[in-house]
Amino acid sequence: MEIIQVKDYEEMSKTACFYLLKKVGNIEQPVLGLATGSTPEGLYRQLIEAYKNGSLSFKNVKTFNLDEYIHLDQTNPNSYYYYMKKHLFDWIDIPKEQIHLPNGKAQDLEAECLDYENKIKQVGKIDIQILGIGLNGHIGFNEPGTAFTSRTHVIALDESTREANAKFFPSIDDVPTHAITMGIETIMESEEILLLASGEQKAAALNRLLNGEISEEFPASILHRHKKVTVIADAADVN
């Protein structure tokens, strides 16, 4: 696991963008794994800038998002579909059919999970997966206790996760109780992983990631078993 320490959120976002551009530039048809939450918003702003100034086209890029809330319409501003459109897809030249998110409104959620796995298999593999980290160590929405062998599945969100994400909703009662998430094994099959963390509130989680033991009680800890993980974190986290 390589750690790149940066000074603040802005530098984290720029460094991540630079890193991605370099990676994507070497691949003819890149497959990106994308994350949501506040952490990657700055990276997405940088990617839009890179697109606007001609450094990057998304015409040949395929994307797979980590997760989606169950029961939220795509038009709901809190759905991750809406988030991705607002923060990235509406501003770049990616063809719609190359964008993939789990469908949290699917009638048959088990079938949707299998279908999502198959879509990833069809493209081969994710070249680089962007990750944030939850306060409790979750990656995607894989909450503590999730099997390291899990594939894309439906998960009941921890109350602490619902509380952490309530900032985006009118009230905690509006935060969905369940989500579809790529499984831990699915994430681990990505060729490369780029984990971003910023701010003092993430310091404890980051510290446990860097120094703690590998355990299903702290899902991000599995990343120590991946061959190529880069963590970009600001000083508040690394110290």
Alpha-carbon gap, residue 215 to 189, rounded angstroms:
18
148: exposed, middle or buried (Cβ count in 10 Å: 0-12, 13-18, 19+): middle
Does 132 help bind ligand GLP (rule: CB under 6 A)? yes
Minimum CB separation of residue 157 from ligand GLP in Å reads 8
Closest CA to 36 of 73, 75, 89: 89
Which are the contacts of 185, defined by CB distance < 8 A and separation ≥ 6?
148, 149, 150, 151
Return the structure tokens found at 19: 């890193």
Does 234 help bind ligand GLP (rule: CB under 6 A)? no
**190 with 127: CB under 8 angstroms?**
yes
121: exposed, middle or buried (Cβ count in 10 Å: 0-12, 13-18, 19+): exposed
What is the residue type of 17? C
Minimum CB separation of residue 12 from ligand GLP in Å reads 11
For 106, other C-beta atoms within 10 Å of its C-beta total 16
Q: Which one of 65, 136, 142, 165 is the catalytic residue?
A: 136
The residue range among 30-38, 90-98, 146-154, 185-193 that interacts with ligand GLP, by the rule CB under 6 A, is: 30-38
The residue range among 15-23, 130-138, 169-177, 227-235 that interacts with ligand GLP, by the rule CB under 6 A, is: 130-138
191 is catalytic: no
Does 38 help bind ligand GLP (rule: CB under 6 A)? yes
Cα angle 229-178-221, degrees, rounded to a multiple of 5: 25
Q: Which one of 76, 127, 138, 153 is the catalytic residue?
A: 138
Does 146 help bind ligand GLP (rule: CB under 6 A)? no
Binding mask 156-175 for ligand GLP (x = CB under 6 A): -----x---x----------
115 is catalytic: no
Does 190 help bind ligand GLP (rule: CB under 6 A)? no
The residue range among 42-50, 126-134, 148-156, 214-222 that interacts with ligand GLP, by the rule CB under 6 A, is: 126-134
Point out the residues that are catalytic.
67, 136, 138, 143
Binding site residues, ligand GLP, CB under 6 A:
35-39, 66-67, 132-134, 140-141, 161, 165
